[in-house]
Amino acid sequence: MIARRCMGLAIMLLPLLLPAPSPAGDDGFQARRLAMVERQIEDRGVSDPKVLAAMRKVPRHLFVSREAVSEAYEDRPLPIGYGQTISQPYIVAFMTEALKLTGGEKVLEIGTGSGYQAAVLAETAGRVHSIEIIPELHRSARKRLAGLGYGAIQLKETDGYYGWPDQGPFDAIIVTCAAGHIPPPLVEQLGPGGRIIIPVGQPWMVQSLVLADKDASGRVRTRSLMQVRFVPLVRERE
């Protein structure tokens, strides 16, 4: 009798012990994602509404290695496998904002990695193309992006140093691995009025994040925006 009453009590208490279901549209990480945007991105000066909306929307925890899911919204780079890393959220937002995208642009990314930056670009630009040199990362990014509704992003597995000549010119190019210099083929594939952002410097050291603008007459002007640390751009023959 007492046992039966206890069981009844336990059944009544059970709903109180289970975590509350997330509100509709929340994947369980929304609060952390919103806090990430407010504290790590807006508070540091990124203000482009399209970039902020993209950073609030793209589920970063689905792009990092399984062991790193609980840290997906922390203020730092995280592993994505094969010795590669996804940049700190602030850097992703900062680089995207620097491209001054309004929504209709054709964009090229070098270094697809997990596909996270490509998804952020898909939310802020028109057509997105992205190149990755590691076949396994290329394949998993393709699957992940298609599964998350970003199947329109064009992906290619090759050495991105040469860009994607038959798809150019691009309005904006973003390189998410560090090169010793700005690859000339990328400058060639940039349309007039276009912008390229790229970390330039020695591998495994601090590099300069360089923004290059091409004016209407094709003249290129570069300036360094900040010091960064990216994984190196590797060449096919290495």
A 10 A CB-CB count for 53 gives 13
The residue (of 77 and 194) whose beta carbon lies closer to ligand SAH is 77
Smallest separation, CB 100 to ligand SAH (Å):
19
Under rule CB under 6 A, residue 84 binds ligand SAH:
yes
Among 41, 68, 86, 198, binds ligand SAH (CB under 6 A): 86
Smallest separation, CB 170 to ligand SAH (Å):
15
The residue (of 25 and 97) whose beta carbon lies closer to ligand SAH is 97
Smallest separation, CB 7 to ligand SAH (Å):
50
Among 89, 160, 168, 194, binds ligand SAH (CB under 6 A): 160
Binding segment for ligand SAH (CB under 6 A), chosen from 100-108, 128-136, 196-204, 215-223, is 128-136
Choose, from 47, 70, 87, 114, the residue flagged as catalytic. Answer: 87
The residue (of 29 and 116) whose beta carbon lies closer to ligand SAH is 116
Q: Is 217 among the residues known to form the active site?
A: no
Of residues 19-38, those binding ligand SAH (CB under 6 A) = none
Dihedral angle computed from the Cα positions of residues 85, 90, 95 and 97, in that order, rounded to the nearest 10 degrees: 150
Smallest separation, CB 195 to ligand SAH (Å):
17
Cα–Cα nearest to 225, from 24, 45, 38:
45
Q: What tokens appear for 221 in the block?
A: 């002007």
Binding segment for ligand SAH (CB under 6 A), chosen from 38-46, 51-59, 82-90, 163-171, is 82-90
User: How many residues bind to ligand SAH according to rule CB under 6 A?
Assistant: 24
Of residues 176-215, those binding ligand SAH (CB under 6 A) = 176-177
Do the beta carbons of residue 198 and residue 210 sit within 8 Å?
A: yes
Instruction: Give the 3-state DSSP-derived string for the chain, with helices as H, strands as E and coil as C.
Output: CHHHHHHHHHHHHHHHHCCCCCCCCCCCCHHHHHHHHHHHHHCCCCCCHHHHHHHHHCCHHHCCCHHHHHHCCCCCCEEEECCEEECCHHHHHHHHHHCCCCCCCEEEEECCCCCHHHHHHHHHCCEEEEEECCHHHHHHHHHHHHHCCCCCCEEEECCHHHCCHHHCCEEEEEECCEECCCCHHHHHCEEEEEEEEEEECCCCCCEEEEEEEECCCCCEEEEEEEEECCCECCCCCC
Of residues 103-122, those binding ligand SAH (CB under 6 A) = 110-111, 113-114, 116-117
Positions that interact with ligand SAH (CB under 6 A): 80, 84-86, 110-111, 113-114, 116-117, 131-134, 137, 159-161, 176-177, 231, 233-235
Catalytic residues: 87
